[in-house]
Structure 1
Amino acid sequence: MIRKVKITTAAEVAASIPNNSTILSTGFSMVGVAEEIYQKIEECFLETGTPRDLTFIHSAGQSDTRRGMEHFAHVPLLKRIIGTHWGLSPKIEELIKQNKVEAFCLPMGQILSMYKAAASGKPGVLSEIGLSTFIDPRLEGGKMNQKAIDSGFEVVQYHPFNDKDYLFYPSLTFDLYLGRGTTADEYGNITMEDECAKLEVMSAVQAVKASGGRVIFQVKKIVQGNTLKPKEVVIPRIFVDEVVLCENPTENHRMTSLAYYDPHLLGEIEEPLSINREIKGLDMKKLIGRRAVMEVKLGDTVNLGVGIPGDSVGSIIGEERMDGQVSLSVEVGTIGGIAIGGGDFGVTKNPEAIIDNSYKFDYYNGCGVDVTFMGAAEIDSEGNVNVSKFGHRSPGCGGFIDITQSAKKVVFCSTFTSGGLAIEIENGKILIKKEGKFKKFVNKVQQITFNGKFAAASQQPVLIITERAVLQLTPRGMELIEIAPGIDLTKDVLEQMDFVPLISPNLKLMDERVYYLGLMHLATQFNRNE
Structure 2
Amino acid sequence: MMAFPKVLTADQAAALIPDGAVVTVSSSSGLGCPDAMLAAIGKRFDETGHPRNLTTLHPIAAGDMWGIKGVDHIAKPGLLARILGGSYPSGPSSAEPPAIWKMITFNEIPAYNIPSGILFDMHREAAAKRPGVLTKIGMDTFADPARQGCAMNAKAAEEPVVRKVEFDGDDWLYFKAIVPEVAIIRATTADERGNLSYEHEGGYLGPLDQALSVRNNGGIVIAQVKRLAKSGTLKPQQVLVPGILVDAIVVASDQMQTTHTVYEPAISGEIFRPLSSFEVPEFGVSKVIARRVAQELRYGDAVNIGFGISANVPRILIEEGRHGDVTWVIEQGAVGGVPLLDFQFGCASNAEAIMQSPYQFTYFQGAGFDASLLSFLQIDRHGNVNVSKLGVRPHVTAGAGGFIDITARAKRIIFSGFFTAAAGLAIEHGALAITKEGKVRKLVNDAEHVSFSGSRAVAQGQDITYISERCVMKLTAEGVLVTEIAPGVNLERDVLAQAEFPLVVADDLKVMDAVLFQPGRIGLDIGGGRA
TM-score normalized by structure 1? 0.94
Greater shift, 313-322 or 326-335, is seen at 313-322
The yes-or-no answer on 1:103 pairing with 2:106 is no
Q: Hey, what's the Cα distance between the residues in 2 that align with 1:275 and 1:157?
A: 49
Aligned partner of 1:425: which letter? Answer: I
Partner secondary structure for residue 474 of structure 2:
strand
Partner secondary structure for residue 343 of structure 2:
helix
**What residue is the counterpart of 1:466 in the other structure?**
468
Q: Hey, what's the Cα distance between the residues in 1 that align with 2:62 and 2:236?
A: 29
Alignment of 1:181-330 (within 5 A): 181-246=187-252, 249-250=253-254, 253-276=255-278, 279-310=280-311, 312-330=312-330
1:21-62 deviations in Å (ceiling 9; x for gaps): 111011112111111111122222233332222111011122
**What residue is the counterpart of 1:48 in the other structure?**
48
**What residue is the counterpart of 2:411 in the other structure?**
408
Indicate if the aligned counterparts of 1:265 and 1:348 stay in contact, CA closer than 8 A: yes
**Is the alpha carbon distance of 1:94 and 1:433 closer, same or farther for their aligned partners in structure 2, counting shifts above 3 Å?**
farther
**What residue is the counterpart of 1:492 in the other structure?**
494
Q: Hey, what's the Cα distance between the residues in 2 that align with 1:513 and 1:75?
A: 56
**What residue is the counterpart of 2:94 in the other structure?**
none
**What residue is the counterpart of 2:483 in the other structure?**
481
Indicate if the aligned counterparts of 1:307 and 1:341 stay in contact, CA closer than 8 A: no
Partner secondary structure for residue 50 of structure 1:
coil
**What residue is the counterpart of 2:345 in the other structure?**
345
2:155 to 144, 147, 153: 147
Alpha-carbon distance, 1:157 to partner? 2.0
Indicate if the aligned counterparts of 1:384 and 1:448 stay in contact, CA closer than 8 A: yes
Aligned partner of 2:133: which letter? Answer: V
Indicate if the aligned counterparts of 2:372 and 2:414 stay in contact, CA closer than 8 A: yes
Pairwise CA RMSD: 1.8
**What residue is the counterpart of 1:450 in the other structure?**
452
Q: Hey, what's the Cα distance between the residues in 2 that align with 1:205 and 1:408?
A: 33
Alpha-carbon distance, 1:215 to partner? 0.1
Alpha-carbon distance, 1:281 to partner? 2.2
Q: Could you tell me the percent identity over the aligned residues?
A: 37
Indicate if the aligned counterparts of 2:325 and 2:528 stay in contact, CA closer than 8 A: no
1:190-248 deviations in Å (ceiling 9; x for gaps): 111111111111111000112221000011111222222122121111111001111xx
1:133 to 137, 141, 144: 141
1:485-520 deviations in Å (ceiling 9; x for gaps): 111222222222211211112111111121111112
Q: Hey, what's the Cα distance between the residues in 2 that align with 1:482 and 1:266?
A: 41
Greater shift, 45-54 or 468-477, is seen at 45-54
Aligned partner of 1:85: which letter? Answer: S
Aligned partner of 1:508: which letter? Answer: K
1:290-324 deviations in Å (ceiling 9; x for gaps): 111111111111000122222x1221122222222
Alpha-carbon distance, 1:149 to partner? 1.4
**What residue is the counterpart of 1:159 in the other structure?**
165
How many residues are matched? 519
Alpha-carbon distance, 1:431 to partner? 1.1
**Is the alpha carbon distance of 1:468 and 1:80 closer, same or farther for their aligned partners in structure 2, counting shifts above 3 Å?**
same
**What residue is the counterpart of 1:21 in the other structure?**
21
Alpha-carbon distance, 1:529 to partner? 9.0
Q: Hey, what's the Cα distance between the residues in 2 that align with 1:64 and 1:283?
A: 29
Alignment of 1:51-90 (within 5 A): 51-66=51-66, 67-88=69-90, 90=97
Alpha-carbon distance, 1:399 to partner? 0.6
Q: Hey, what's the Cα distance between the residues in 1 that align with 2:251 and 2:529?
A: 56
Q: Hey, what's the Cα distance between the residues in 2 that align with 1:172 and 1:219?
A: 26
1:92-132 deviations in Å (ceiling 9; x for gaps): 22322221221112111111111111112211121111111
TM-score normalized by structure 2? 0.94
Aligned partner of 1:175: which letter? Answer: E
Indicate if the aligned counterparts of 1:29 and 1:344 stay in contact, CA closer than 8 A: no
1:61-113 deviations in Å (ceiling 9; x for gaps): 22221512222222222221111111527422232222122111211111111
Q: Gaps spanning 5+ residues in structure 2: where? A: 92-96
Aligned partner of 1:14: which letter? Answer: A
Q: Hey, what's the Cα distance between the residues in 2 that align with 1:424 and 1:484?
A: 12
**What residue is the counterpart of 1:366 in the other structure?**
366
Alpha-carbon distance, 1:441 to partner? 0.6
Q: Hey, what's the Cα distance between the residues in 2 that align with 1:405 and 1:280?
A: 30
Q: Hey, what's the Cα distance between the residues in 2 that align with 1:148 and 1:100?
A: 10
Alpha-carbon distance, 1:280 to partner? 4.3
Partner secondary structure for residue 456 of structure 2:
helix
Indicate if the aligned counterparts of 1:369 and 1:406 stay in contact, CA closer than 8 A: no
Indicate if the aligned counterparts of 1:339 and 1:347 stay in contact, CA closer than 8 A: yes
Q: Hey, what's the Cα distance between the residues in 1 that align with 2:449 and 2:469?
A: 24
Q: Hey, what's the Cα distance between the residues in 2 that align with 1:380 and 1:132?
A: 14
**What residue is the counterpart of 2:12 in the other structure?**
12
Q: Hey, what's the Cα distance between the residues in 1 that align with 2:162 and 2:85?
A: 13
Q: Hey, what's the Cα distance between the residues in 1 that align with 2:180 and 2:166?
A: 28
**What residue is the counterpart of 1:381 in the other structure?**
381
Partner secondary structure for residue 157 of structure 2:
helix
1:355-374 deviations in Å (ceiling 9; x for gaps): 11111111111233211011
**What residue is the counterpart of 1:117 in the other structure?**
125
Aligned partner of 2:331: which letter? Answer: E
**What residue is the counterpart of 2:357 in the other structure?**
357
Indicate if the aligned counterparts of 2:281 and 2:315 stay in contact, CA closer than 8 A: no
Q: Hey, what's the Cα distance between the residues in 2 that align with 1:529 and 1:347?
A: 28
Aligned partner of 1:213: which letter? Answer: G
Indicate if the aligned counterparts of 1:368 and 1:403 stay in contact, CA closer than 8 A: no
Q: Report runs of 4+ in structure 1 exceeding 3 Å deviation.
A: 527-530
Alignment of 1:512-527 (within 5 A): 512-523=514-525, 526-527=527-528
Q: Hey, what's the Cα distance between the residues in 2 that align with 1:268 and 1:88?
A: 30
Indicate if the aligned counterparts of 1:318 and 1:338 stay in contact, CA closer than 8 A: no
Aligned partner of 1:53: which letter? Answer: N
Q: Gaps spanning 5+ residues in structure 1: where? A: none
